[in-house]
């Protein structure tokens, strides 16, 4: 299979619902993982919206409302925070912190279900979250099915003491 054919096949393999790891793609196309990483870079450069998640690559989603929510909490409250978001039907796209030295830093998440959250929390046991760099203050970009879903997330986070304002939690 030629490189261009492989890239077309990779693009067809990726969906918005199911991430595919570079290792799985490498096995499927009998090439190295590094070749796949390069193919993904070329597909992105060609305009394809490919998102890297903790579980692999997938196409970016195009439906729903994009909203942001500012949060502050300890590492132990991460699961509670993320569940409040996915339980209200929102997808947690990423986490953003404003680091005093490096500026804005973003970590891709793509968490849409309790299963996704459990897997993320399990991986987080072996690494510090980005919010640890900013005393727990961070922003999540969300994809919400409706404005009402977003408002429910905000209300739940407020009740949990996680919603952040300039002076602290609301």
Same structural domain, 20 and 86? no
Domain range for 46 is 3-59
Do 54 and 71 belong together in one domain? no
Residues 128 and 79 in one domain: yes
Give the CATH number of the domain where residue 24 resides: 1.10.10.10
Same domain for 13 and 73: no
Helix (H) or strand (E) holding 110: strand 103-111
Interhelix angle 114-124/78-86, rounded to 10 degrees, is 160
pLDDT digits (tens, 9 = 90+) for 4-50: 999 999 998 987 678 899 999 999 999 999 999 999 999 988 878 88
Q: Which pLDDT score, from 0 to 100, does residue 167 have?
A: 52
Cβ-Cβ contacts under 8 Å for 144 (sequence gap 6 or more): 64, 65, 66, 67, 88, 89, 90, 91, 150, 153
Task: Cite the annotated binding site for Ni(2+) by residue number.
Answer: 73, 81, 138, 140
Tell whether 77 and 46 lie within a shared domain: no
pLDDT in tens, 76-122: 999 999 999 999 999 999 999 998 888 999 998 989 999 999 999 99
Q: Give the pairing type, strands 103-111 and 56-59.
A: unpaired
User: Domain check: are 54 and 73 in the same one?
Assistant: no
Binding-site residues, in ranges, read 73, 81, 138, 140
CATH code, domain with 102: 3.30.1340.20
* pTM across the whole model: 0.70
The total of structural domains in the chain comes to: 2
Mean pLDDT of 146-159: 96
Same domain, 14 and 92: no
């Amino acid at each position: 299979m030629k490189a261009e054919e492989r890239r077309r096949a990779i693009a067809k393999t990726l969906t918005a619902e199911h991430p595919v790891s570079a290792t799985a793609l490498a096995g499927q196309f009998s090439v190295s993982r590094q070749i796949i990483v390069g193919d993904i870079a070329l597909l992105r450069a060609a305009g394809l919206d490919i998102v890297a998640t903790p579980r692999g690559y997938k196409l970016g989603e195009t439906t729903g409302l994009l909203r942001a929510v500012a949060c502050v909490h300890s590492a132990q409250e991460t699961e509670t925070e993320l569940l409040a978001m996915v339980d209200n039907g929102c997808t947690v796209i990423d986490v953003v912190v404003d680091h005093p030295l490096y500026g804005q830093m973003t970590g891709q998440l793509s968490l849409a279900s309790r299963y996704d959250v459990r897997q993320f929390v399990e991986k987080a046991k072996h690494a510090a979250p980005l919010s640890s760099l900013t005393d727990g203050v961070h922003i999540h970009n969300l994809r919400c099915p409706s404005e009402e879903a977003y408002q429910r997330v905000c209300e739940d986070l407020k009740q949990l003491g996680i919603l952040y304002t300039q002076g602290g939690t609301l």
